[in-house]
Amino acid sequence: MASKQETLTSERRHKTIASVVLSIICIIYVMPIVSVVINSFKKNTFVKTDTFALPNAETGAGWANFIKGMTFGNYPFMASVANSVIITVLSTFLILFFCSMAAWYIARVNSKFCKVIYYLCIFSMVVPFQMVMFTLSKTADVLKLNTPFTIPIVYLGFGAGLAIFMFVGFVKSIPIEIEEAASIDGCGPVRTFFRVVLPMLKPTLISVGILEVMWVWNDYLLPYLVLDINKYRTIPIHIQYLKGSYGTVDLGATMALILLSIIPVIVFYLALQKYIIKGVAAGAVKG
């Protein structure tokens, strides 16, 4: 009895230590966001000199940084927001639509050709972007994929790896007898996919969609290389060009715009994180 009690006490001690360690790690990860929030309400000078101090009567700027960030320069901030929304929505739709069909075909046909395509998609997830960035930007420029309405085609190629990996895993968990029954009832391949397979893909569709939205919304490098930034800017590019005379940066206004850009992502993730977990468990784990 004493030994059992000692074991329980030891387990509780280990759990307490683990909780403390993980709490410290969480605080460390959250601190940059807290710093952005604090500095977005401080004057530019004090962002540099009193970075970690709370704003007060002397250092505080109120909402001035947010107003300046949204009105600075000759490119309207709301146009950058609109471009980010267009690119994110179109890219996510294309990835979900085409990759779900491709994954279903790969999983069910399972030929050597399909296996090659599948492993190429997996390989694309680990290839550093720097290996293809220059040829990609040149190709996108030649093919006129340098607008908010055409760059989603480029995102389709980059986002296909993760999407197909997760979709293939989920499709393999669906009993083939369900599709055979649909075929016997007169459904062709297209009707079988949209009427039978696609509704069952819902958990993975949601989780992949959430992950792709967060990736595309936050991406800076690909739009910067591909888009004509004199005509089209996304939110990250707009923040990069928030400069004054002689290239000086207004850090207060920059922090304000960063805060405006990350708040939707944080809220989006916190509201839908359970669906990410559910989709990953249904797709990658079962596969």
Both 54 and 150 in a single domain?
no
Distance between CA atoms of residues 100 and 108, nearest Å:
12
What are the Cα distances from residue 246, in Å, to 49, 54, 112, 219, 250? 21, 29, 58, 27, 12
Both 51 and 174 in a single domain?
no
Total residue length of the chain: 287
Residue 246 lies in a domain: yes
Both 143 and 265 in a single domain?
yes
Residue 131 lies in a domain: yes
Both 40 and 175 in a single domain?
no
Taking the CA atoms of residue 91, residue 78, residue 267 and residue 258 in that order, the dihedral angle to the nearest 10 degrees is 100
Please identify, among 45, 65, 85, the residue that sits at the C-terminal boundary of a domain.
65
CA atoms within 13 Å, Cβ hemisphere of 36: 16
Both 123 and 16 in a single domain?
no
Phi, psi for 42 (deg, rounded to 5): -115, 155
What is the structure's pLDDT at 123?
Answer: 87
Both 131 and 267 in a single domain?
yes
- Phi-psi group of 110: left, alpha or beta (phi > 0 → left; psi -120 to 50 → alpha; rest → beta): left
- Give me the number of domains the chain comprises: 2
CA atoms within 13 Å, Cβ hemisphere of 8: 5
Distance between CA atoms of residues 98 and 91, nearest Å:
11
**Six-digit token string for 183:** 């075929």
Please identify, among 65, 87, 119, the residue that sits at the C-terminal boundary of a domain.
65
Phi, psi for 145 (deg, rounded to 5): -95, 30
Both 199 and 103 in a single domain?
yes
User: How is residue 80 annotated by DSSP?
Assistant: H
Residue 276 lies in a domain: yes
What is the structure's pLDDT at 28?
Answer: 87
Both 121 and 9 in a single domain?
no
Question: Amino acid letter at 54?
Answer: L
Both 30 and 169 in a single domain?
no
Please identify, among 65, 86, 110, the residue that sits at the C-terminal boundary of a domain.
65
Mean pLDDT by 10 residues, the chain (287 residues): 65 83 87 86 83 83 84 83 94 95 91 90 83 85 91 92 89 88 87 90 87 88 88 87 61 85 82 71 52
Tell me if residue 144 falls in helix, strand or coil.
coil
**Burial (0-12, 13-18, 19+ Cβ within 10 Å), 26:** exposed
**CA-based nearest residue to 160, from 100, 201, 220:** 100
Say whether pTM exceeds 0.85.
Answer: no
What is the structure's pLDDT at 216?
Answer: 92
Residue 204 lies in a domain: yes
CATH code at position 193: 1.10.3720.10
Whether the CB-CB separation of 41 and 60 falls below 8 Å is answered with yes
Residue 71 lies in a domain: no
Residue 70 lies in a domain: no
Both 249 and 268 in a single domain?
yes
Residue 186 lies in a domain: yes
**Six-digit token string for 203:** 């958990």
Host H or E run for residue 33: helix 2-39
Both 48 and 119 in a single domain?
no
Residue-range definition of the domain harbouring residue 183? 76-285
Both 174 and 222 in a single domain?
yes
Residue 200 Cα to chain centre, angstroms = 23
